[in-house]
Amino acid sequence: MTSQIQPLAYTSPCAWIFWAVFLAAYVPESVLMARSKPAPGEKSDRGSTQFIMLSAWLAFPAAFAVASWSGFALLNHRRVWFALGIAILAAGSMLRRYCFRTLGRFFTGNVKVQADQTVIENGPYRLLRHPSYTGGMLMYFGTGLALTNWLSALILVGMGALTYAYRVRVEEQALGTSIGQPYLEYRRRTKRFVPFIF
């Protein structure tokens, strides 16, 4: 039987910090996704929004459930891992908000190309095609670290990688079809998630 250890995120005062940052980061995301269901007849999303929501509903309970398993716990320097996780979670959330503001009215929670859609190359979009998804991955990774459990981090990062891989493929196809050559040129000179690397 797997022995248990109480994650710092479940004990005061760390719990207050964890839940304050967690809710500030994820509640706006949940509201956004709830409002982003594609309209009847829209096909450009290809189920990616529902896939993201379903994956989150499965991965987060699993990550929290295994957080107390001592066999996977980050036992050395737990407070450092916790603080690092909180910082990464907050940084990912701030990057997401910056991306939302940069895209303005072109930002949608689901894949939806507007009639006057243009290529946005301001802010983080100068280097990356999908910086908001980079922010999302940072949020998932930070949450796992804050739970001081590498299996929790692996579950959340794995979920994020799987859902974003599908979402990016759908999104890039829709933008390439709608915008055409300007987007294809933008795609050739930028990376998806990590500047100059990937």
Residue 75 counted as domain residue: yes
Q: What is the CATH number of the domain that holds 139?
A: 1.20.120.1630
* Tokens of residue 9, six digits: 């995120």
pLDDT at residue number 1: 47
Q: What is the pLDDT of residues 51-103, one digit of tens each?
A: 998 999 999 999 999 999 999 999 899 999 999 999 999 999 999 999 999 98
The predicted model gives 105-110 an average pLDDT of: 78
The residue to which tokens 């759908």 are assigned: 170
Residue 56 counted as domain residue: yes
Show the domain range for 181.
Answer: 8-35+45-110+120-189
The rounded distance, in Å, linking the Cα atoms of 198 and 186 is 15
Q: Look at the chain and count its residues.
A: 198
CB neighbours (10 Å) of residue 63?
A: 23
Residue 95 counted as domain residue: yes
The residue to which tokens 């982003």 are assigned: 36
Percentage above 90 pLDDT, the chain: 70
Count Cβ atoms within 10 A of the Cβ of residue 74 and give its class: 0-12 exposed, 13-18 middle, 19 or more buried: buried
pLDDT at residue number 152: 98
Residue 29 counted as domain residue: yes
pLDDT at residue number 35: 75
* Higher per-residue pLDDT: 45 or 129: 129
Give phi and psi for 195, each to the nearest 5: -55, 130
Residue 195 counted as domain residue: no
* Tokens of residue 139, six digits: 């949020």
Q: What is the pLDDT of residues 146-179, one digit of tens each?
A: 999 999 999 999 999 999 999 999 999 998 888 9
Q: What's the total number of domains in the chain?
A: 1
Residue 183 counted as domain residue: yes
pLDDT at residue number 107: 80
For the entire predicted model, the pTM comes to 0.91
Give phi and psi for 44, each to the nearest 5: -65, -25
Residue 179 counted as domain residue: yes
Residue 136 counted as domain residue: yes
The least confident of 13-17, 134-138, 175-179 is 175-179
The helices-and-strands tally (H runs, E runs) of the chain is 6, 0
DSSP-based three-state secondary structure for 51: helix
pLDDT at residue number 172: 93
The rounded distance, in Å, linking the Cα atoms of 66 and 3 is 11
pLDDT at residue number 38: 65
